[in-house]
Amino acid sequence: MSMLKIGVLASGRGSNFQSIIDEIESQHLDAEIVLLITDNPSAFAIERAKKHGVHYLIMRPKEFHSKDEFFIKTAEELKERHVELVVLAGFMRIVRKPLIDAFPNRIMNIHPALLPAFPGLHGQRQALEYGAKISGCTVHFVDEGMDTGPIIIQAAVPIFQDDTEETLSERILKYEHKIYPEAIRLFSEERIEVKGRMVSIKGDTFSEAFIVNPAIKKNPE
């Protein structure tokens, strides 16, 4: 099985980008990030790419005639480098049809909520305002909807009564960094099957698809 070629799209600090780099460099993930594309010339993800020798491109949407044209060019750049899986790591744009059609069921995203609950921006804040007792994060394939694609892996974390958006976000982020590389690993091993919106994992054990953390304590001893 050849090494999986990954293209990453990021707009900001790129902490999930870093978690994938770390798993690759520790040889826990048999993959190579061949390109980072960012729409933000100030993104800290660029510094991470420089530090780890990842080639990067800055593509400003305003320099294109339309949103579709931006994503057509994005797909061309990824295909030119033989990318097999596209990973969104804090990419703050809705992916449009030209890129989705170029990589069907080969674009992953991570969302800081247990989808289908609380899609869109500020999933952590939505969960707190709703009064939810459990939140978490979801890795899913990208379709043309807002966080509506087939779900691959989820992790659940508790919400404490005195949580703020910041404390909950920090708790969820730790599990984002665990399940995103895991979803990519399953893809690299050709263990993911998609039928409609249902995802099955070959040789699945329950923990590979859903991580539940009811024993998390706010102040562990």
Residues of the chain with CATH 3.40.50.170: 1-104, 109-221
Domain 1-104 in CATH 3.50.30.30: no
Residue 221 pLDDT: 39
Residue 203 pLDDT: 83
Sign of the four-CA dihedral 31, 76, 150, 165: positive
Q: Are 119 and 110 in contact (CB under 8 A)?
A: no
For the chain, residues with pLDDT lower than 50 are: 214-215, 219-221
Through-space distance between the first and last CA atoms of the chain, rounded to whole angstroms: 44
- Listed in sequence order, the residues at least 6 apart from 215 whose beta carbon sits closer than 8 Å to its beta carbon are none
In which residue are the tokens 């070629």 written? 5
What is this structure's pTM?
A: 0.91
Q: List pLDDT tens digits, range 76-90.
A: 999 999 999 999 999
Of 193, 212, 123, 104, the C-alpha closest to 152 is 193
Residue type, 205: T
Instruction: From the options 3.30.70.260, 3.50.50.60, 3.40.50.170, 3.40.718.10, give the CATH code of 109-221.
Output: 3.40.50.170
Question: Average pLDDT, whole number, for the chain?
Answer: 92
Q: How does DSSP classify residue 95?
A: -
Q: Give the active site residue among 55, 82, 111, 122.
A: 111
140 in active site:
no
Q: List pLDDT tens digits, range 132-175.
A: 999 999 999 999 999 999 999 999 999 999 999 999 999 999 99
